[in-house]
A and B are shown apart, each in its own frame.
Chain A
Amino acid sequence: MIRQPNVIFGNSRLLITMGRKGELFGFFYPRRDYAQHVEDSLACIHNGDKLLWLNSHEWLSTQEYIEDSNIVSTELSHDSGIKISILDFVHPEVPILIRKFKIHSEKRLRGKFFYYSNLNVGEMDKKNSCFCDSDEKLLVQYWQDYYIGLKGIPDFKEWQVGKSMDTIWWTNAKYDMEDGKLQNNKEDIGQLNSALGWDLDIEAGGETEITVLIGAAQKRTRLYKRMRELANQPIDNVFEKTRDNWIMWLSKKNVLSLSVLGEHNMAKQEMFSAYNRSLLTLNLLNDEKHGSFIAAPEFDSNFEMCGGYGFCWNRDGVEVVLALLDAGYPEYCDRFFKWCEKTQLSDGSWFQRYWLDGNTAPSWGNFDYSTQIDETGATLHAIDTYYRSLEGIAKVEFLEDMWALVLRGAEYLMKRSRRGVHDPCIDLWETYYGRFSYTNASVYAGLVAAAHIAEEYNESGLADRWVKHADFVKMKTIEKLWLSEGYFAKGIVDKKLDPTVDASILGMIVPFNMLSPDNREERAMIYSIIKRIEDKLRIKVNNHYGILRYEGDNYIEGNPWIVTTLWLSKTMLSLAIAIQGEAGSEKQVQQLVIDATNYIKWSLRGTTSTGLLPEQVDKFTGHPAWAIPLGWSCALMLDNIRLLDKIR
């Protein structure tokens, strides 16, 4: 089932995605892409008469992060006078989710607090096994070496383990909860669900606290020890430790001044918050062990309406690591490029997308004609960008590590662009076959990057060959794809020039620098591209304009995208930085900054209530749409704010 989260949190081995009422959507352990163990997991009150599921429409909710952390606060209120506060966080060191419920009732409340789970451990909806150790007061569900455990503080009083999809319906924990009393069945196998129960007896105006721990481990004994140990620790101390851990991580960032925003403290605060939230989000999308990133937490694992997002694309990955590098976190580059080394195909290219451990992911790009050449160009470009940031021994070591990769990658780009325009392949939006402006720019940038690295490696012959071919690609791209109307065509599709205005032509400028704002002739082309995109792709939502991907886009209703909007603002800010200081440029710089800032603010109006940046903004409602949060959106937000910070 497709369910977009309102919030995500976790640690390096556990990623949680959650709805706005505190219902778990995803419990990813030990990687961000696999395995997702939860179908349903949420709390429910039995008020003595009926069940009040916390995700029902009867509850009003507000949800936000605790500032500068990946700790979530959810507040729920019910007409009957019950209020529930949930504090959700994951222990910084072990994969245990801590869910602290505070239940307040205006009237006397005698009933039950239930915690219901429908787990598919190991992403398996069969062959699971579940048992309740009533001595240890621990409920465990497992499949192979995935063990998920639930424990309460205080201990739960009753429980049920049952079959969630069987004709013996009375064992089903969800039905068992209906009468307010659980059967205490201790074990079962198959497709299962479970419930834990606590007595509730709250005086009018009173409250009580129940904490639910949901932990994961690869062995039963390890799970027991972890859960027992954590249950014995004061939860408030664990909370403090978790918060300190996030604040410490965030303190490494490059600090902003944003002097260009002057005394607009609200605007500054908004940017500071967006900067921090983007950093904290990207941390959660990263696989620390392998160095890769998911594009977004998976929410359509059955590929019902799209191809899924819980995989690593080089295209997205390089955007993310370069943004993190610029924000003060170079270690993500190092790990990611080591991952690229392992995942590069024998022909020098990269596959459409990968599992985080480097295995190739489900793909519709299995052939030469259906691959995405831009991912290879973008990767080489990013490697060189990182290389240029290094100094001393680290620089030398990185060059040695990367040379073979760069050589293979560059030769692949040479082979796929012999005629100056790349061979037919799939575009960056993964929708069209053809030869594309954006992809050509990536080939150009990849070859320029490779040439620089070759020079550094004393391979000047190769460097010369690659840079000459890069210039040839640039020349041919302008010759064949630049239109007299003043912009680049989307590409050549079905052997015909496709003049569709596509926001990805911004890639000619950032990040691939095929057109440089420092060159006056090319600067004019850049202005013209910006104007064309604003004329053709702006759409008014949330009282300002977002940018569509391309004319006639109908993917998920054809909404404006955060990526394309922030891509445009990034281009504007890059241009502003290039011309600032030139005589008479003040007004132009000022206008570019105002326009870019408005696009950034528009993007922030499209976030979830917790500040997560989505892929798209619904053009009818103005709400965040589709993939939430999207790493690429976060990376571009960082880029924009960092550029804004460089404007004086």
Chain B
Amino acid sequence: MFCSTDDTANIIWFDISYVDTISSQADITRFFADNNVNIRFGYLDNTEHAKTGKYIIFTQVEKSVDVDKLVVDLKGLDVVHDVEYGISSCKMVQSVEFPLNLLGERAIIARATTFVDIIRTLYENVSQSDGLLMLSGLKGGINAARYFKGITTIDENNFKDILKELFMATGWGILDIECNCDIMSGRIFVHESFIADSFKKSERPVCGYMSGYFAGFITEVVGKTMQVREVRCKSMGHDVCEHTISLAPQGAKLEHLLRGESI
């Protein structure tokens, strides 16, 4: 999301459906330049159909410009199928289309602090908040893995790469995964964890939601019950967040816990 403080201009977004030729995008960009419209941000989406594409452009336009005429002229380009547009009266524009979609579900953009505020509130008010966060993450991880299973092949060989890219794409963090899939044992390092970064200082690991997410994701992919625990956390002063991966012990009898066997 971005906003402008220039009172003489409007922020206008255009959703342009176009014929996907080698010069289409150049034609559209040139049109805006010729009409003295300043493109601030934009993105292309050519994934939905083979021969058509979508060009989302956020512009800053002098208030004196006749926007309706601009749109009519834009629609007149040979490469353009249709144009939708909107003027942001508060000069605030989202940088992605609405409603946003992620892994087949409705998604939103939220600041990391929003998520961390929820975590803090849980810590302060809810007993067993670690368990609650772990279970919430678990659900998210399971659902994400199920989504990937539905659209591609995902198994012990490639889940690490998919998980890494997923975390990067969503802005959650940068992953290094070391995992011996024969014995299902290893570690996940999370650089720039959005939770730890936003949480700042803590005396205990705060990325339990991510541990749950990893556990759910890997369990769903490999079909074995996994335990994931955060053993180092950037919020505690460590360089990086580290989660250990292991097979969950059979059951969890109290005596095992007391002997530390499941930890």
For the complex, what is the distance from the CA of A162 to the CA of B225, rounded to whole Å? 15
Residue in A171, A187, A189, A191 whose beta carbon sits within 8 Å of that of B128 in the complex: A191
**A183-B250, A183-B251, A185-B251 as given contacts; A166 in contact with B227, CB under 8 Å:** no
Chain B neighbourhood of A188, CB < 8 A: 252, 254
| Residues on A with beta carbons closer than 8 Å to the beta carbon of B248 | 168, 170
Distance, CA A126 to CA B212, complexed state (A): 22
Asked whether, in the complex, the Cβ of B254 is within 8 Å of the Cβ of A170, the reply is: no
**Residues of chain A within 8 A of B252, CB atoms compared:** 162-163, 168, 170-171, 185, 188
Bin chain B's interface residue count: 20 to 34
A171-B127 CB under 8 A given contacts A165-B132, A165-B135:
no
In the complex, the answer to whether B131 meets A167 with C-beta atoms within 8 Å is yes
Number of A-B contacts (CB under 8 A): 52
**Interface residues as binary, A183-209 with B (CB distance below 8 Å gives 1, 0 otherwise):** 101011101000000000000000000
| B253 within 8 Å of A (CB atoms) | yes
Given the complex, which residues of B lie within 8 Å of A171, measured CB to CB? Answer: 251-252
Interface size on A, residues (CB 8 A): 19
B-facing residues in A355-400 (Cβ within 8 Å): none
Residues of the B chain whose Cβ atoms lie less than 8 Å from the Cβ of A126: 127-128
Query: Which one of B135, B211, B250, B257 contacts A172 once the chains associate, using CB atoms below 8 Å?
Result: B135
Q: Are A165 and B253 in contact (CB under 8 A)?
A: no
The answer, yes or no, to whether B134 is at the interface (CB within 8 Å) is: yes
Query: B243-257, CB under 8 A of A: which get 1 and which 0?
Result: 000001011111001
Q: Is B215 on the interface with A (CB-CB < 8 A)?
A: yes
B54 within 8 A of A: no
Instruction: Point out the residue from A167, A185, A189 that lies within 8 Å of B130, measured CB to CB.
Output: A167
Beta-carbon contact of B215 and A169 below 8 Å: yes
A471 at the interface (CB under 8 A from B): no
Give chain B residues whose Cβ lies under 8 Å from the Cβ of A64.
none
Q: Which residues of B contact A175 (CB under 8 A)?
A: 138
| Interface check A125, CB cutoff 8 A | yes
Q: Which B212-257 residues have a C-beta within 8 angstroms of A?
A: 212, 215, 225, 227, 229, 248, 250-254, 257
Point out the residues of chain B lying under 8 angstroms from A185, CB to CB. Answer: 251-253
When the two chains form their complex, are residues B132 and A170 in contact, meaning their CB atoms are under 8 A apart? no
Q: Is B52 on the interface with A (CB-CB < 8 A)?
A: no
Given contacts A185-B252, A188-B254, A189-B254, is CB(A168)–CB(B262) below 8 Å?
yes
Given the complex of chains A and B, what is the CA–CA distance between A486 and B134 in angstroms?
A: 64
Q: CA–CA, A170 to B250, complex, Å?
A: 9
CA distance A515 to B227 in the complex (A): 73
The answer to whether B131 and A163 have CB atoms under 8 Å apart is yes
A180 to chain B, nearest CB (A): 13
Inter-chain contacts of B254 with A (CB < 8 A): 187-189
On whether the beta carbons of B212 and A169 are closer than 8 Å, the reply is yes
Does the CB pair B251–A169 fall under 8 Å?
no
Q: In the complex, what residues of B have CB within 8 A of residue A170's CB?
A: 225, 227, 248, 252
What 0/1 pattern do residues 4 to 16 of B give for CB contact below 8 A with A? 0000000000000
B208 within 8 A of A: yes
For window 97-146 of A, CB contacts with B under 8 Å fall at 125-126
CA distance A162 to B135 in the complex (A): 14
Q: Are B131 and A166 in contact (CB under 8 A)?
A: yes
The proximity string for B residues 133-174 relative to A, scoring 1 for CB distances below 8 Å and 0 otherwise, is: 011001000000000000000000000000000000000000
Nearest CB on B from A329, distance (A): 44
Select which of A163, A167, A168 is within 8 A of B208 by beta carbon: A167
Q: In the assembled complex, how far is the CB of residue B212 from the closest CB belonging to chain A, in whole angstroms? A: 7
In chain A, positions 151-183 with a C-beta closer than 8 Å to chain B are 162-163, 165-172, 175, 183
A41 → chain B closest CB, angstroms: 19
Which B residues are in CB contact (< 8 Å) with A168? 227, 248, 252, 257, 262
Contact of B135 (CB < 8 Å), options: A125, A169, A187, A189: A169
Could you tell me the distance between the alpha carbons of A248 and B30 in the complex, rounded to whole angstroms? 89
Asked if A125 and B131 sit within 8 Å, CB to CB, the answer is no
Shortest Cβ gap from A173 to chain B (Å): 12
A181 to chain B, nearest CB (A): 12
Contact string against A for B residues 78-114, beta-carbon threshold 8 Å, 1 for contact and 0 otherwise: 0000000000000000000000000000000000000
- With A and B bound together, what is the CA distance between A172 and B131 in angstroms? 11
Residue of B nearest to A161 (CB): B251
B131: chain A residues at CB < 8 Å are 163, 165-167, 169, 191
Does the CB pair A169–B128 fall under 8 Å?
no
B127 in complex: contacting residue of A125, A163, A187, A189, CB < 8 Å = A125
**Chain A minimum-CB-distance residue to B251:** A185
Residues of B within 8 A of A166 (CB): 128, 131, 134
Q: Which residues of B contact A162 (CB under 8 A)?
A: 252
Q: Shortest beta-carbon distance, A158 to chain B, in Å?
A: 13
- Report chain A residues within 8 Å CB of B138: 169, 175
A169 and B127 in contact, given A183-B250, A188-B254 (Cβ under 8 angstroms): no
Interface residues of A in 317-346 (CB under 8 A from B): none
A465 → chain B, closest Cβ, in Å?
A: 55
| A163: chain B residues within 8 A (beta carbon) | 131, 252
Q: Are A165 and B128 in contact (CB under 8 A)?
A: yes
A4 to chain B, nearest CB (A): 24
Give the nearest-CB partner of A166 in chain B.
B131
Interface contact B251-A167, CB-CB below 8 Å: no
Closest to B253 in A: A185
Instruction: Report the separation of the CA atoms of residues A170 and B246 in the bound assembly, to the nearest whole angstrom.
Output: 13
- Chain B, residue nearest A188 (CB): B254
- Nearest opposing residue in chain A for B262, CB measure: A168
- Please, which residue of chain A has its CB at the minimum distance from the CB of B208? A167
State the CA gap A167–B215 with chains docked (Å): 11
Query: Nearest chain B CB to A157's CB is how many angstroms away?
Result: 18
**Hey, what's the 0/1 contact readout for A598-629 against B, CB within 8 Å counting as 1?**
00000000000000000000000000000000
Residues of B within 8 A of A167 (CB): 130-131, 134, 208, 211-212, 229
In the assembled complex, how far is the CB of residue B241 from the closest CB belonging to chain A, in whole angstroms? 16
A-side contacts of B215, CB under 8 Å: 169
**How far apart are the CA atoms of A166 and B132 in the complex, in Å?**
7
C-alpha spacing A126/B131, complex, angstroms: 13
| Interface residues of A, Cβ cutoff 8 Å to B | 125-126, 162-163, 165-172, 175, 183, 185, 187-189, 191
Binding site for A on B (CB under 8 A): 127-128, 130-132, 134-135, 138, 208, 211-212, 215, 225, 227, 229, 248, 250-254, 257, 262
Instruction: Write 22 A-B pairs (CB below 8 A) sorted by A numbering.
Output: A162-B252, A163-B131, A165-B135, A167-B131, A167-B208, A167-B211, A167-B229, A168-B257, A169-B131, A169-B134, A169-B215, A170-B225, A170-B252, A175-B138, A183-B250, A185-B252, A187-B254, A188-B252, A188-B254, A189-B254, A191-B128, A191-B131
Known: A162-B252, A166-B128, A167-B229. 12 other contacts (CB 8 A): A163-B252, A165-B135, A166-B131, A168-B248, A169-B131, A169-B212, A170-B227, A171-B252, A183-B251, A187-B254, A188-B252, A191-B127
User: Considering the complex of A and B, which 8 residue pairs feature the smallest CB-CB distances, nearest first?
Assistant: A165-B131, A165-B128, A166-B131, A170-B248, A171-B252, A167-B134, A185-B251, A168-B252
